[in-house]
Amino acid sequence: MSITYINPLNLYTIFVTYLAGNLTVFIFLAMIGISLLAGRFRMPDRVFMSLIALFGIIMSQYLGGLYALMIVVAGLVIYYQLAKEVKY
């Protein structure tokens, strides 16, 4: 039995391999996290749409165009549902 040490600065190994288990799952978890934070802190719509579109474009090189569209649509749905529920 050998012991494997993880470099604390190797974020890919920590987040993708051990936290999510798969790059696709990590991308969807990151999109959900971005949408949750943006909805919770009432980020303006234009800023959020720009952010999620940029995230989708960047991640489309790993997933493909259809998944990038799914990321944008799912992110918008989560964001608008949370933005409606948060009342001040």
DSSP notation for the chain:
-------TT-HIIIIIIIIISSHHHHHHHHHHHHHHHHHHTT--HHHHHHHHHHHHHHHHHHH-HHHHHHHHHHHHHHHHHHHHH---
In a domain, 63, yes or no: yes
pTM over cut 0.75:
no
In a domain, 67, yes or no: yes
Residue 77 belongs to domain spanning: 11-85
Q: pLDDT value at position 87?
A: 54
Number of domains comprising the chain: 1
Tens of pLDDT, residue by residue, the chain (88 residues): 678 787 888 877 877 888 888 877 887 788 888 888 887 787 888 888 888 888 877 877 777 777 777 777 887 887 777 766 655 5
